[in-house]
Chain A
Amino acid sequence: EIVMTQSPATLSVSPGERATLSCRASQSVSGNLAWHQQKPGQAPRLLIYGASTRATGIPARFSGSGSGTEFTLTISSLQPEDFAVYYCQQYNNWPRTFGQGTKVEIK
């Protein structure tokens, strides 16, 4: 099983600032990496797939990069609605696995 490790566990950021979230895979997942956002009481929402392709309707302030074992999600200028938990997920191998999540909170 591929273990996905996210850092940091919690990120405190002021609105308008840049947020950088990291995700590391225990072995290469090539570019088969997705990022999901989850807010309390809501369904998760896909942000990024293929490591860097924004899903439909996702604002340009969200960007993904990386390949192999190291990946990054960047939110260029945090908006109030962006405070949430973010999960990376690999789909290169079965079982599909998620990172433990990074909570982005208001500083």
Chain B
Amino acid sequence: EVQLLESGGGLVQPGGSLRLSCAASGFNFRSYALSWVRRAPGKGLEWVSSISGSGGDTYYADSVKGRFTISRDNSKEMLYMQMNSLTVEDTAIYSCAQGWGWFDPWGQGTLVTVSS
């Protein structure tokens, strides 16, 4: 069974940084692209970033480009998102998901709250 488990969320001040992690299991990790998708309180889903299986190709939403960096460690079967220069608009539940076309499956998510 494919499992994705996010961690690293929390409360951070505007301008601060946070690193999210996603532990994967149950599939051939290096063969799959992975993505981060977020949902702000009371809003819909927003794609954030995707990375190829090798890690050589990455894509970002304009809203996070230059501030967020997606990466992966295929030896540890881990996906990461380094988030810098956070703003209140980044407050959301961040979920990792398998794939970069359709997303399946999704993790439960980790809550990031940006507030002073």
Which residues of A are interface residues toward B (Cβ below 8 A)? 1, 32, 34, 36, 38, 42-46, 49, 55, 87, 89, 91, 94-101
CB within 8 A of A32: which of B35, B50, B101? B101
Bound: A5/B7 CA distance, A: 32
Name the residue of chain A whose CB is nearest to the CB of B101: A91
Q: Which of B23-31, B66-74, B81-89, B106-114 contacts A (4 or more CB under 8 A)?
A: B106-114
Bound: A49/B60 CA distance, A: 22
CB within 8 A of B107: which of A32, A36, A43, A94? A43
Bound: A55/B77 CA distance, A: 24
Asked if residues A95 and B44 are in contact (CB atoms below 8 Å), the reply is no
Asked if residues B62 and A95 are in contact (CB atoms below 8 Å), the reply is yes
Tell me how many residues of B have a C-beta within 8 Å of chain A.
Answer: 23
Distance of B93 from chain A, by nearest CB (Å): 10
Asked if residues B44 and A43 are in contact (CB atoms below 8 Å), the reply is no
Which A residues are in CB contact (< 8 Å) with B62?
1, 95
Name the residue of chain B whose CB is nearest to the CB of A94: B59
Asked if residues B105 and A45 are in contact (CB atoms below 8 Å), the reply is yes
Which A residues are in CB contact (< 8 Å) with B47?
89, 95-98
Asked if residues B59 and A55 are in contact (CB atoms below 8 Å), the reply is no
Name the residue of chain B whose CB is nearest to the CB of A87: B45
Distance of B56 from chain A, by nearest CB (Å): 16
Q: Does B95 contact A (CB under 8 A)?
A: yes
Which B residues are in CB contact (< 8 Å) with A42?
108
Chain B 31-76 interface residues, beta-carbon cutoff 8 Å to A = 35, 37, 44-47, 50, 59-62
Which A residues are in CB contact (< 8 Å) with B95?
43-44
Asked if residues A95 and B109 are in contact (CB atoms below 8 Å), the reply is no
Which of A32, A49, A99 has the largest number of chain B CB atoms within 10 A?
A49
Which B residues are in CB contact (< 8 Å) with A1?
62
Asked if residues B45 and A36 are in contact (CB atoms below 8 Å), the reply is yes
